[in-house]
Every structure is written in structure tokens, then in C-alpha cells.
Amino acid sequence: MTSPLTAFRVPARVLSDRRGTQRSAPLLGAVCVAFFLLQVTLTVHGTGLGWDETVYTSQVSGSVPAAFFSAPRARGISFLAAPVAELTTSTTALRLWLAALSCLALYVALRVWRNLVPAPVLALAGGLFATLWITISYGPQVMPNLWSAYGALAAVGCFLRAARDRTDRAALAGLCLAVALTGLMRPPDAVWLVAPLAVAALFVPGGRRPLLWAVLVAGVALGCGEWVIEAYTRYGGLTERLHRGSAMQGGTGWNFAVDDQIRALDGRTLCRPCDVPWTHRRTALWWFVLPLPAIGGAVAAARAGRRDTALLPLLVASSLAVPYLFMIDYAAPRFLLPAYALLALPVAYGLWALLTAPAGRLRPVLVGLVVAALCCHMAIQLSVTDRVAATSRAMRTAYDGFADDLHAHGVRPPCLLTGDHAVPMAFYAGCASRQTKGQDTSITPAGVVAAARTRPVAVLVPTRHRPPSYARTWRRVHLPDSRHTPGYYAYIKSPTAPAR
């Protein structure tokens, strides 16, 4: 019986022609320009900052007090947003800045591979990754996951280059910086990235070099150093910070979340708890098809003498996916961006092998099927991107409305919000946010009352809930419902506002 992988038989010269690497710059440039245009067209205009984005942006904003920074978070993405967030409150300007940076970073991460992977395969890999709705949506966002993906992609490429050529000092420096980027954005991702690379060094030709392991360690230290130092200065130590971070995620351990990730592919940016029906199933078809071109691509690359350039990305991608598929009990598609970035390489190998298969009667049919599948896949991804962006625009409209209502009732900067959804609402209103319970216990009920003597304070309570005892006599204002947010009562007290 013929193996399904027979379709991936391709002459080695098709995937090993080194002259193709010289054409990588214009091809990759075209991919990255298209990525930028997709972001600007679909996700930049009119979208608002989500909850997590308001936390990261507030740390470096020149006009909004910093929100509570919880234990799992790292400050890398705040540093990237700082040049614009410090100067302007324009969300569009911040989105354009990050969209441009994300395109440049994609180009750099792919160019690392230019002497390892043929130019058409590399451009196809970039195109596959850049057209996922997750990638397009998070390109201009103040979120760290895509940048962790860029670091992982560049790190694996630099690792292979450094192993193959002991004189390639640029690859060693790039490896250190790429690992550091991942650590700066997502410290746990850096550990799951470096672990398989350290093991692979034992088996990759030229990898058994103390210098290579030292560079991996230096990258982790450079990227995670600030996070570790902050653990001791703000959280009572590294162990305590890890414990609090795990508690915020519902505890880490064996949790099968593969089905949660599949359900979230229909445009859910966060699925927690992920007990929702599996709708829009077509959005997850690519997930089930993914193993075939990935494995076939590894076979094709091996036959062309490029085994490591497909197998190592598969290995590292699997490692990066483990905590998000098997160790937490919820899903967010962005968590798997580093794995998707690396998987794009063997998948591109597999698809290119199909497109360039030896001539025969079935070749036009095979090429037609691959092209049609890619077009359908892209259409689905763009439609999900559009839906996610529309939801973000609606959320921005709702939060802007809440902020206008609060301002109209005297809650203006400097002011303080507490209660349900106080973090994003405070950002839009220009207020500080503090909580009396939960992870952020930065203020007590008595502290809230005391704050109301010097500045406007609002306690946000869903309409079906009762306010805290200290605010029951405060002036109550109804913040109207919207399609994407429940209605709220704001219990307001300020130095000039009398009790009800």
C-alpha cells in the first residue's frame, strides 16, 4: 500500500538549491508588507485596548496611572509600547507603531533562516503564519505573545546557524538576543524554548559546544533577569511569584486543554471557562490538517539534506505548546503563537513539495487542490479577523460611553475606580484603579472612603449585584447596557458630591 507521505517525494535539488536563498529579501519583504497592510486594513482603525492591553499600556502611559501588575505578567511589551504611549493617548498611533514593529520583527526573524531554508519555502512559511487571524489580530496589540513567537523563531534559526558554523558570531549574538526577547515578553516561554535547544545541542552536528549552552543560559538570564529581580522586590521572592502566578491561572498541572484551544479558534480571544459549544467548526479545520503537511514537510526536508531545519522547529514547537495544551484549564489562541511560528516552516516545506512534485498527470490536480485549500483557509482566517476586530470596536464604543458618563457625573482625573471591570474602565476614564479583594488588594474599604475625601471615587457594580456596605449611601448612576458589556451602577462619592 502506498504511504500518504509518498506525495511529498520531491527531487532534492528543488529544496536544496542555495541560489534561491539570494532571492529571500524581496520575497520576505513582500510578505511583511502584506502583513502590515492586513493589520492596517482589518485591525488598526477604531479598535480599542482590551483589559490586558490597558494594564500593559498603563505602566508606561504619560496620562493614566499604572494599573495593578499581576505576578504572571512581564514588562517587555510595555517597553515596546512606551515610545508612543508616553507621548500620546491615541490608540490608533499606538496600533500603527506596533503594526510597523511587528512587520519589521517578522522580517528579521525570517531572515535569520535565509541560508538554511530555500527562499520560496521561507516566504511561504512567513505567509502562512502572517495570515492566521491570531497573528493579524495581535500584530498591533500591546500583548507579548507574538513577540515571544518572533523570539522563538529567530532563536531556533540562530541556533542552527551557530551549530553549523563556529565562526558565525552574529548567529551566537542573535541566539542570545532572541532568547532574551522571549524571556522579556514571556519568561516561562523562554524556559520551554531553551530546554529542547539545550537537548538538541547533543545531537545536532556541531552543537556540542560549551559556548552554545552558555549563550542559551545568558539569553535566559538577560531576558528573565528583570522579572526575577522584580519577584524579590515586589512579590516576596521567585517562588512566591510563581505560586501567585499559578494561582491566577487556576493552578498548573495536568489539564487537557486541546479541545479548549480548538473551540477558541472561532475568534475567542479568551475561553475561560471554556465550556461553550463548538460553533463555526470550519475555523478549526486547519488544526486537524496541520499534522500531515508538517510531517510530510519534515520528510521532504530530510530527503533534501535539510532535516534539522524542519525537525528542530517541530521539536521546539511541541515543547512551547505543552504548557498551554496540557497544564492549564482554559484557552487563549495567542498562547500558541510561538508554536505556530515554528510549525510554519515544516508545513511550508510540505506544501512546497506538493506544489513542485515531479510532473505527471495528477500534478495539475494536486496543485489545484493545494491552491484552493490555501485560498479557502485564508478567506476563513480573514473573516475571523474581521469579526474579532468588530468586537473590539464595539467594546471600545462601550468603554468610551462609560468614560463619558463618568466624566459627566464628575468622575474626572485625578479619580479612582474600584469594583467590577474597574481596570479597563479606569484606563478609558483616565482614573487609577484599585481593588479591596482578589489579587489586587492594594486598598482597603477604609482606604476607598478616605480617598473620596480628596478626589472623585466610583465603585462599579453590575446592576444585579449589591454595592459594598461603605458605598450604599453614595450617589448611584446607571451606566447603560451595551451589546458586549452588562449594565453597571456607579456609586459615586467626591469631595463636592453630597451623599444620597
**What is the spatial distance between Cα 362 and Cα 366, in angstroms, rounded to a whole number?**
6
Q: Within 10 Å of residue 140's Cβ, how many Cβ atoms?
A: 27
Contact 142, 49 (CB under 8 A): yes
**What is the spatial distance between Cα 225 and Cα 223, in angstroms, rounded to a whole number?**
6
**End-to-end Cα distance, the chain:** 82
Beta strands in 49-195 (DSSP E): none
Distances (CA, A) of 313 to 44, 215, 283, 295, 363: 31, 19, 24, 12, 28
pLDDT of 21 reads 52
437-456 pLDDT, tens digit each: 888 888 999 999 999 999 99
**What is the spatial distance between Cα 159 and Cα 209, in angstroms, rounded to a whole number?**
11
pLDDT of 496 reads 62
Residue 70 has pLDDT above 70, yes or no: yes
CA-based radius of gyration for the chain: 25
CA atoms within 13 A on the CB side of 387: 15
Contact 267, 278 (CB under 8 A): no
What the block records as the C-alpha cell of 484 is 458586549
Contact 120, 347 (CB under 8 A): no
Q: Average pLDDT, stretch 184-204?
A: 96
Per cent of the chain over pLDDT 90 is: 81
pLDDT of 2 reads 45
390-404 pLDDT, tens digit each: 999 999 999 999 999
Q: Average pLDDT, stretch 327-343?
A: 96
Give me the sign of the Cα torsion angle 84, 91, 151, 309: negative
Output the CA angle 128-129-132, nearest 5 degrees.
90
Q: Average pLDDT, stretch 119-136?
A: 97
Q: Which of 460, 411, 454 is nearest to 431 (CA)?
A: 411
User: How is the chain split into domains, by residue range?
Assistant: 4-358, 394-493
Residue 498 has pLDDT above 80, yes or no: no
Residue 9 has pLDDT above 60, yes or no: no
Looking at every residue in the chain, the average pLDDT score rounds to 92
Beta strands in 228-323 (DSSP E): none
Largest Cα separation within the chain, whole Å, is 85
Distances (CA, A) of 26 to 29, 81, 114, 337, 455: 5, 28, 12, 25, 57
Residue 241 has pLDDT above 70, yes or no: yes
Q: Within 10 Å of residue 266's Cβ, how many Cβ atoms?
A: 21
Residue with cell 486594513: 41
pLDDT of 272 reads 87
User: Poorest-confidence range of 39-53, 226-240, 271-285, 475-489?
Assistant: 475-489
